[in-house]
């Protein structure tokens, strides 16, 4: 009787342990693939995950370095000289062929010398009297060189240039060079090259020796 009870208790204990192991096995995740491949697959996936994380970190670091380097050295603003070259045109502004060529020559001179350039269109009636106030405004802006294009502008320069000896005038299409007025022919060398040369020469002459 005693032995039967002992065996029954032992069997029941073994049964409970077996059921617990089965429950644990059912609850535990099972690795995919054959059992003999599980160690190899685990190592391979760990390598893939490690490699992916390393590449991602390197990419993020590279982007941050590029952003830092591009933002750490902003481009410097161009430093201009205290020298102004000004163009006086008619109401069409830079649309006229002579004005466009003169402006292109001024821009080339500005790139070479760092002189400031600007232009002003004389609006209203295209007469000498109506142009004189526009010419005077350029003088008041401290323009060192004034380039004039068009008949009314040339007439205004011919009339008032003697009153502004400190200013150098360039008359595109003028008849002759007199005093502080230099004539640029419209039938000779290109206007662009002539204006570029005259403005550059004026800038160089203004620099202290």
Q: Report the topology of domain 84-206.
A: Rossmann fold (3.40.50)
| Number of C-beta neighbours around residue 170 at 10 A | 27
pLDDT for residue 60: 53
Task: State which H helix or E strand residue 168 sits in.
Answer: strand 168-172
pTM as predicted: 0.64
Residue 176 has a pLDDT of: 86
Please tell me whether residue 207 adopts helix, strand or coil conformation: coil
Taking alpha carbons only, the member of 89, 106, 198, 81 closest to residue 150 is 89
The Cβ of residue 197 has, within 10 Å, a number of other Cβ atoms equal to 15
What pLDDT score was predicted for residue 42?
Answer: 56
Quote the pLDDT of residue 68: 40
Give domain limits for the chain: 37-70, 84-206
Q: Along the chain (209 residues), what's the average pLDDT of each consecutive run of 10 residues? A: 49 57 54 49 59 61 43 61 95 94 97 96 97 97 97 96 96 92 91 97 87
Task: State the pLDDT at residue 124.
Answer: 96
Per the structure block, which two tokens stand in for 155? Answer: 């007439």
Give 88's contacts (C-beta < 8 A, 6+ positions apart).
Answer: 119, 120, 122, 131, 134, 135, 138, 146, 147, 148, 149, 153, 156
């Amino acid at each position: 009787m005693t032995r039967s009870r002992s065996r029954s208790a032992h069997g029941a204990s073994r049964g409970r342990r077996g059921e617990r192991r089965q429950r644990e096995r059912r609850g535990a995740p099972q690795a995919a693939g054959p059992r003999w491949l599980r160690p190899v697959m685990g190592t391979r996936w760990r390598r893939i995950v490690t490699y992916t994380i390393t590449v991602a970190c390197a990419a993020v670091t590279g982007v941050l370095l590029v952003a830092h380097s591009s933002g750490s050295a902003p481009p410097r603003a161009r430093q201009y000289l205290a020298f102004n070259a000004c163009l006086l045109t008619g109401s069409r502004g830079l649309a006229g062929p002579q004005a466009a060529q003169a402006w292109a020559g001024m821009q080339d001179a500005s790139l070479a010398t760092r002189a400031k350039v600007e232009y002003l269109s004389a609006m209203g009636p295209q007469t000498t009297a109506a142009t004189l106030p526009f010419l005077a405004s350029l003088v008041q802006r401290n323009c060192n060189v004034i380039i004039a294009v068009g008949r009314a502008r040339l007439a205004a320069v011919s009339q008032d240039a003697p009153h502004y000896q400190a200013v150098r005038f360039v008359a595109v299409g003028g008849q002759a060079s007199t005093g502080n007025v230099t004539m640029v022919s419209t039938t000779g060398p290109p206007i662009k090259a002539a204006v570029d040369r005259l403005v550059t020469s004026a800038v160089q002459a203004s620099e202290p020796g």
